Amino acid sequence: MANYKQLFMSFMDTNGIKYQELDNNAVRVGYNADNAKSVTVFVIFDENGKNLVAFRCWDIAKFKDDKWVDGLTVCNALNRKYRWVKFCLNDEGGLSAEEDAVVDEASCGEECMQMVQRMVSIVDEAYPTVMKTIWG
């Protein structure tokens, strides 16, 4: 059975991409961004060794109680615009983004890196809209 997390880390090592190994099934990859100061993606591999990978970007922004409805509205708008990433608002008003993938052993590293880069790009592109909703 393939160790998909190890395949991803080997790909990043080979390509000089910095990351932090968090535990047996998770890796954190951070990028400087154009609109957001930085975007951090958590790559979470299936605990049972299956080829299922979750990509999560937590704490993109925080909507206070008086902006809760605005937060839901912006989530819906972003979800209509971006089909690869799902935006969510948690009970505390924290905005996050997530995507899931089934990867192939032969191309796991490249596939996971593409998913990370896609998430970073979308979150960074959506960031001004989110901030405008919070502060506008």
Question: Is 127:33 a contact under the CB 8 Å cutoff?
Answer: yes
The separation between CA 86 and the C-alpha centre of its own chain, rounded to angstroms, equals: 9
pLDDT bucket at 20, cuts 50 / 70 / 90:
very high
30 exposure class (CB count in 10 Å sphere: 0-12, 13-18, 19+): middle
As assigned by CATH, the class of the 4-135 domain is: alpha beta
26: left (phi over 0), alpha (psi -120 to 50) or beta: beta
In this predicted model, what pLDDT tens digit does every residue of 69-96 receive, in sequence order? 999 999 999 999 998 999 999 999 999 9
Query: Model's pTM, two decimal places?
Result: 0.94
pLDDT for res 23: 86
* pLDDT at residue 102 greater than cutoff 90: yes
Mean pLDDT of the region 45-58: 95
